[in-house]
Every structure is written in structure tokens, then in C-alpha cells.
Amino acid sequence: MTTVDEVVHRHLLDRAGAELPGRGHIAELIRRMDPLLPADEVAAAVARVTARVSGLGPLESLLADPLVSDVLVNGPGPVWMEREGVLERTSLELDRPTIELIIERVLAPLGRRVDPLSPVADGRLADGSRVHVIVPPLAVDGPCLTIRRFGARAASLDDMAAPHMVDLLRWAVRSRCNVLVVGATGSGKTTLLNAMAAHIPPHERVVTVEDAAELRLPSEHVIRLETRPASAEGTPAVTARELVRNALRMRPDRLIIGEVRSGEALDLVQAMNTGHNGSLSTLHANGCNDALHRLETLVLLAGVGLPLDAVRSHLAAAVDLVVHVERAGSGVRRVVAVAEVASGPPAPGEAPAVRLLADAERVIGEAVRGSRLSAGDAP
């Protein structure tokens, strides 16, 4: 059965090219169609129509909930969401034209599009939420949209780590240690990176490089760079590696790479080894030891012909701390391990040694007395 707000929505769509009316005019249209509709139901219908003709339409009600971390559209049919760590099916169902309209609203302001020739696209919403789109022929059952929320509620280090680890991470940032945050997809790597970066002194110049600009740093001196994919019109791609190289020419006090995925790992390691201390980045890995193995693989992908032993020596000299974050079954994201990377060159054929840190006070004390992490004052 067609509802009043659906009729009004169709009426507004027929006004293509005209300026959309305000809420008062929408309410007047609804009253004309159903004069006996109670005032509270008129207000609810106005809200539904407004959501349809602006923003992300029917998804706006889900995105308005700060507890929703992911919104998942798997083609025509029911919409799924993750709320407080629990994946659940919502009562909302979308047809294909509505999904395509939402995708267009997401990508059009970014100058991107999807079609059968370019069926995959990434983007972001105004609040920094990450969006991934994939359409037929790659998506067999219809266009799919995945929204990874970010920024609904800023997390602090205290929300994500035990007190002694909080002290260690704060000190590491202030002391300009080079830190790699690792974990699985959705484990909270970017959230933790943002919480750590909040402790960078406000006078320092920070340059960030991201595929989708998610970081929200409180500092006044932040330059945010974002990669660009190639377009169907022939616009060339701008890769993370190119942006990292440009960032190093911008006199950064701190370099932050949202996620290392490929050959830009070499440029990050070189930056860490050439005076750009205090660099931060994230990496997909299952743990602290696995992180260095994956990072060395990404450095080798840069294709410059460095021997593996040379790569491992560079990693040992570049990375100070590796922080492993995980998401528990309840959806809570927590730091589960922090490890120090041995600074000396590893033995031939061996990876850099990694030492798990459990006692923050002891580690900070060693740093002040001259161990590898001696870049600053104790907290």
C-alpha cells in the first residue's frame, strides 16, 4: 500500500531541476493529501520525506544512531547493521533504484562514479565515515554499499587500553617514537591511531596521508592528503606512495599514514630512518611479530631491489613500537599487546627481534636511562 510520504516523495522527484522545498511546504503537501492526519504523524512523514530527498535517504535513521558502527547494504532487500558490536538485520528494506540513488549521492560530490566498466569505488561521508561500493557485474545480486562509521564518538586512549599501557602510549607519542598500530579489519586501528595522535603537541606540523580522510586531529597545524583513484574519463590515479613523497617535502614534524598497503611502506621506513621521528601508521596484521613480516613484504613490493637482510635492518632501525589492537566478541576494541623492536641489525637471515612490554613503568625507566626509547622525558 502506497503511503502519503511515498506519494509526496514521488511528487518532489517529478520536480527534477527545481529547488527542493522546505519542511513547511512538505508538511503542507502531506496535509492536502490527508487532511485528517494527526500532527505527530505529519511530523513523522515530513522527517521521512526529508530523509528521502536529502542526505542518504532511508539510511539516515541508521547513521543518526551513534552506537551503529557499520551499515551494510547487500543488494536489494534488507539492510544490516552492526550496533555495539552485534551484527543484526534491520526492518529497513531497499529496492535497487533506491540503492543506486544513495550510491550516486555518496560518490557524486567526490567526483567519482561506478558503472559496469568501473564497478568498484571508495569514498567517504562528510563525517569521515568510510564508504565502499561494488556493483554488477562484480556484485552478482545487485549493488552493494558498505559504510564503516567513524567519528560518531571519539575514543580516548583510556577507552582502549589498560592504565599502564595508556601511560606508555602517551609517553611514546610525546617522545617521538615511531609507532605501528596493527590488527585485523574492524579491530579499531584507525580509532586508536586517532586517539594516540591527539597527544601530539599542538605546535607541531602534522601531515597525514590516507585513502579516505578519517583522522580528526585536534591540532591546528594539520595538512590532510587523500589518495585519488583513476577515473573512467582518464584522470590519473594519485597513490599513497606519491603522497608520502610529497608529504616529506612539506616540512612535517610528524608524518601519519592512515594505513600502509603497498610500496609506500618503503617511503615510510625511509622517512623514519631520515629524521622524521614520531611517525605513526596502521597495518593489517595478526600480531606484533606478524606485523614486521608483513611490513617487510610491503617494502619489497616497492620493487627497488633491496636485499631482504637490508630491508630487515632498515625496519629494525625505523620502527620503535608495535601496538596490537583487537575487537572482542562484545565489540569492544582494546590494546592487547605492545612490543618494542630491537634496534640492532638482526642476524643474517633473521627478522628483527620483538620484545613484548608488560610493565610500562619499567620500560619508561629504561628509556630515560638510555635504552632505545630515549627520545623524550618520562611522563
pLDDT tens by residue, 93-126:
998 988 988 898 888 877 788 888 889 988 888 7
CATH 3.30.450.370 fits 55-153, yes or no: yes
Reading the block at residue 121, the C-alpha cell is 569505488
Closest listed residue to residue 149, CA positions, set 51, 52, 53, 64: 64
For 288-312, what is the mean pLDDT?
89
Burial class (CB in 10 A: 0-12, 13-18, 19+), 119: middle
pLDDT tens by residue, 245-261:
899 899 999 999 988 98
Q: Which residues, including other chains, have CB under 8 Å from residue 228's CB and lie 6 or more apart? A: 235, 237, 238
Reading the block at residue 229, the C-alpha cell is 583513484
- Pairing relation of β-strands 206-210 and 254-257? parallel
For 280-293, what is the mean pLDDT?
91
> 42-56, 145-159, 288-302, 365-379 — which is least confidently predicted?
365-379
Could you give the CA distance from residue 105 to residue 274 in angstroms, rounded to a whole number? 43
Number of Cα atoms under 13 Å in the Cβ half of residue 309: 6
Q: How much is the pLDDT for 66?
A: 84
Q: Which residue has the higher pLDDT, 331 or 239?
A: 239
The chain-wide mean pLDDT, for the chain, equals 82
Helix or strand (DSSP H, E) at 313: helix 308-318
Q: Is the pLDDT of residue 360 over 90?
A: no
pLDDT tens by residue, 119-171:
998 888 877 788 999 999 999 999 999 998 865 556 788 888 888 889 999 99
Q: How much is the pLDDT for 365?
A: 54
Helix or strand (DSSP H, E) at 223: strand 222-226
> 62-76, 125-139, 346-360 — which is least confidently predicted?
346-360
Which range scores top for mean pLDDT: 55-64, 72-81, 110-119, 328-337? 72-81
Q: How much is the pLDDT for 49?
A: 67
pLDDT grade, residue 52 (50/70/90)? low
For 69-85, what is the mean pLDDT?
91
Whether the link from the prior residue into 58 is cis, omega within 30° of 0, is no
Q: How much is the pLDDT for 7?
A: 60
Which residues pair with residue 124 across a beta bridge? Answer: 130
- Residue 202: CB atoms within 10 A of its CB come to 10
Q: How much is the pLDDT for 17?
A: 44
Percent pLDDT > 90 in the chain is 28
Q: Which residue has the higher pLDDT, 312 or 22?
A: 312
Closest listed residue to residue 371, CA positions, set 180, 177, 179: 177
Q: Is the pLDDT of residue 234 over 80?
A: no
Reading the block at residue 249, the C-alpha cell is 617535502
Q: Is the pLDDT of residue 11 over 70?
A: no
Q: Which residue has the higher pLDDT, 155 or 20?
A: 155
Residue-range domain boundaries for the chain: 1-50, 55-153, 157-368
Could you give the CA distance from residue 279 to residue 192 in angstroms, rounded to a whole number? 14
Could you give the CA distance from residue 50 to residue 45 in angstroms, rounded to a whole number? 8
Question: Is residue 240 classed as helix, strand or coil in its secondary structure?
Answer: helix
Reading the block at residue 236, the C-alpha cell is 590519473
> 34-48, 58-72, 85-99, 171-185 — which is least confidently predicted?
34-48
Residues 362 and 167: beta-carbon distance below 8 Å: no
pLDDT grade, residue 229 (50/70/90)? confident
Q: How much is the pLDDT for 379?
A: 42
Percent pLDDT > 70 in the chain is 82
Question: Is residue 256 classed as helix, strand or coil in its secondary structure?
Answer: strand
Q: How much is the pLDDT for 274?
A: 81
Q: Same CATH fold, 157-368 and 55-153?
A: no
DSSP per residue, 128-180: --EEEEE-TTTSTTS-EEEEE--SSS---HHHHS-HHHHHHHHHHHHTT--EE
Q: Which CATH superfamily is domain 157-368 in?
A: P-loop containing nucleotide triphosphate hydrolases (3.40.50.300)
- Pairing relation of β-strands 254-257 and 280-284? parallel
Q: How much is the pLDDT for 117?
A: 85
Q: Is the pLDDT of residue 21 over 70?
A: no
Reading the block at residue 45, the C-alpha cell is 512523514
Q: How much is the pLDDT for 378?
A: 41
Secondary-structure breakdown of the chain: helix, strand, coil percentages, each rounded to the nearest 5? 35, 20, 45
Number of Cα atoms under 13 Å in the Cβ half of residue 97: 3
